[in-house]
Amino acid sequence: MTSRLPETTIERLGKIYDLCRTTRLTGEVRLSSSRIGKSLGIPGHTVRKDINFLGEIGNTGYGYDLEKLEKHLAEALGFLNPRKACIVGLGRLGSALLEYRRFKPDNVLIEAGFDSSINRLETIVTPTPLFPAYEIPEVVRRKNIELALLAVPAKAAPEAAALLAEGGIKGIINFTPVTINPDPERILIRNINLANELRVLSSLLFLRDDEAS
């Protein structure tokens, strides 16, 4: 029914959703497209186009009612029912993700952590249940975990991805610099390549300074 949303639009709508909630906490009840845009660093007309994909929600001459907008976004983007996620690889980054507070408000529940080192599993203190890596397929399937945050060392990435696929995972956020894609048809991947972000930033600076000279 919903016409297909561009991925860039989905990204921005996610941020708008977040903005709705945080702004509502301050007592505000409405916001114009240009004010939303200012908060998010994007132009107002883009905000309008994005929101407009969901239908006519704004009130002309008034802006968007935040409660209404939030509800529409939650519905259209599927934030209403909770999703289960797991962290694979409990090194520094993985452990940090395990305790990351900002997932909860989004109805994403971290239900398991995995690592191949039993030693490590025994030293980490967390309320989240932890398992050895070889149990990934079984635990993921049993608990109905749909999402994974993959934070293992590069060389362990393909194997870990394969185990997740075996468990029937549906989406992976890949913090590894390795390209994983066990089953493109069934599994969505989003890559976060930290080292490359730094490289890009560094290059952009370099190219800009270069140009200036």
Instruction: Summarize as ranges the residues that interact with DNA (CB under 7 A).
Output: 6-9, 32-34, 42-46, 48-49, 51-52, 56-64
d(CA 12, CA 173): 18
Alpha helices in the chain (DSSP H): 7-25, 33-40, 44-52, 66-77, 92-98, 118-123, 136-143, 157-166, 194-212
Contact 97, 149 (CB under 8 A): yes
Which of DNA, its own copies, none lies near 95, with the C-beta cut-off 5 to 8 A by kind? its own copies
Closest CA to 130 of 146, 159, 149, 110: 110
Q: Which stretch, 55-63, 98-106, 128-136, 159-167, contacts its own copies (CB under 8 A)?
A: 98-106
Which of its own copies, DNA, none lies near 198, with the C-beta cut-off 5 to 8 A by kind? its own copies
Q: Which residues pair with 39 in a beta bridge?
A: none
Contact 33, 64 (CB under 8 A): yes
Minimum CB distance to DNA smaller for 59 or for 117: 59
Which of DNA, its own copies, none lies near 52, with the C-beta cut-off 5 to 8 A by kind? DNA
Minimum CB distance to DNA smaller for 18 or for 135: 18
Which of DNA, its own copies, none lies near 6, with the C-beta cut-off 5 to 8 A by kind? DNA
Per CB under 8 A, 141 contacts its own copies: no
Q: Which stretch, 45-53, 76-84, 115-123, 134-142, contacts its own copies (CB under 8 A)?
A: 76-84
